Amino acid sequence: MRDFCAMSATTPPRAEIGVPHRPLRRGADNALLGGVCGGLAIRLGVSERAVRVVTCVVALLWGVGLLAYFALWLTLPRTGEDRSIAGRLLGGRNRLRRVAVAVAAGALVLLVLHPFSEALLGPLSWAFLLAALALIVVWRGATAEERQRLEELGRHTPFLRSRAESTRTWALVRIFVGLVLVLLGVRLAALVSRRVDGGAPAAIFGTAFVLAGVVVLLAPWWLSLVHDLSDERRSRVRVEERAKLAAHLHDSVLQTLTLIERSADDPGQVTRLARTQERELRQWLFGPVATSRVATLAGALDALVGEIEGDYGVRVELVVVGEATLSEALTDLVAAGREAAINAARWSGAERVSVYAEVEPDKASLFVRDRGRGFDPATVPEDRHGLAVSIRERLAARGGTATVRSAPGEGTEVALEVALA
């Protein structure tokens, strides 16, 4: 039923409607199932949807519409074909014998099913049964083109076959089990409605059977639908990621490479550019995902390292243990660290400067160390004293200290500390 009722919501490309005096044919390009409704709509000059709705309603009257539909399916030629399915099956040389066999087979089926008609089969069930037989006949007689269309339809129909099922046999077994459950459930419910003494248990069982049947019928389809959706989502995400990556590489790496090419005769500039780019790319690839704009100690130090690596062409190795949002005390600490790191980059002659920061509950410390030429703190010229003093006083105001340890040839380490409230 679903096939030619519910599915009418998705209207296929419209055929010419309202052009009268055409021979009655089944529609080819406006067909949902067999094209009967589409063909009628064209012949009668009314909308397809109207014909479909009427057909569905009539189908509910003891299955009359259903039987009519299949009768027309079998006897009307498809648009563009000159013979109907019945004609194709019954035509040919042994026409008489074939008709005889078909009638005999039909009679046999009716005879076998007759005893069940009272107990199990209502008029609607009969209609369904005959429709199912008709469908088999349709399949036998359909042209390759129509078969292909039906197969396509079957692939998209909920309970016929899903990607999750590898073999047709399994699909058939599942459909059979599902249908049996549904039928049993319907029978139980019908029994209850006829004789009240069956009581609640039968009704509950009936409902349970129907539900179980529906689940068995529809589960694989639902699963594959879900699967398709997540597949689709995944590939979309992948495409977006790729676009983001390409945009980023273009803005950063490609630009820098161009700059490097242009300054090929200035080794210092090349080194600086390469360092800065490396840092930036590393941060992007491996760094923490920047979710908040809150300034933190690690963030401030990171920016500081970038600045010094860019300006002085030294490598700064930064290690941060613990983390805190940037308070005034920590801002002073970073500013002092900046002076120390710039001094190291400028005067030590070392290729690498180590910066280590640690946040503890009551204090934060920052160490800037190089393994460069070092100096004797006792012989620092007057004009460079000022710097150390200003740093020291600034930190002292925050309850902190600044200590410089250095010796010629040993490198320098500046230890800075502030108290945290």
Binding stretches for another protein (CB under 8 A): 282, 285-289, 291, 315, 317, 319-323, 351-352, 354, 356, 358, 367, 369, 371, 413
| C-beta closer to another protein: residue 136 or 285 | 285
Q: What is the DSSP letter of 78?
A: B
Kindly state the smallest distance separating residue 321's Cβ from another protein, in Å: 5
Q: What is the dihedral of CA 326, 331, 334, 336, to 10 degrees?
A: -160
| C-beta closer to another protein: residue 7 or 415 | 415
Residue 356 pairs with which residues in a beta bridge?
319, 367
| C-beta closer to another protein: residue 266 or 317 | 317
| C-beta closer to another protein: residue 123 or 377 | 377
Q: How many CA atoms lie within 13 A of 403 on its CB side?
A: 9
Cα–Cα dist 22/42, whole Å: 8
Cα–Cα dist 298/19, whole Å: 77
Kindly state the smallest distance separating residue 389's Cβ from another protein, in Å: 24
Q: What is the phi/psi pair of residue 240, to 5°?
A: -65, -45
Kindly state the smallest distance separating residue 416's Cβ from another protein, in Å: 12
Closest CA to 340 of 302, 390, 300, 409: 390
Could you tell me the sign of the dihedral formed by the alpha carbons of 295, 299, 304, 306, in that order? negative
Kindly state the smallest distance separating residue 375's Cβ from another protein, in Å: 18
| C-beta closer to another protein: residue 81 or 358 | 358
Kindly state the smallest distance separating residue 120's Cβ from another protein, in Å: 60
| C-beta closer to another protein: residue 110 or 319 | 319
What HEC string does 335-363 produce?
HHHHHHHHHHHHHHCCCEEEEEEEECCCE
Cα–Cα dist 77/88, whole Å: 10
| C-beta closer to another protein: residue 10 or 292 | 292
Kindly state the smallest distance separating residue 317's Cβ from another protein, in Å: 6
Kindly state the smallest distance separating residue 31's Cβ from another protein, in Å: 50
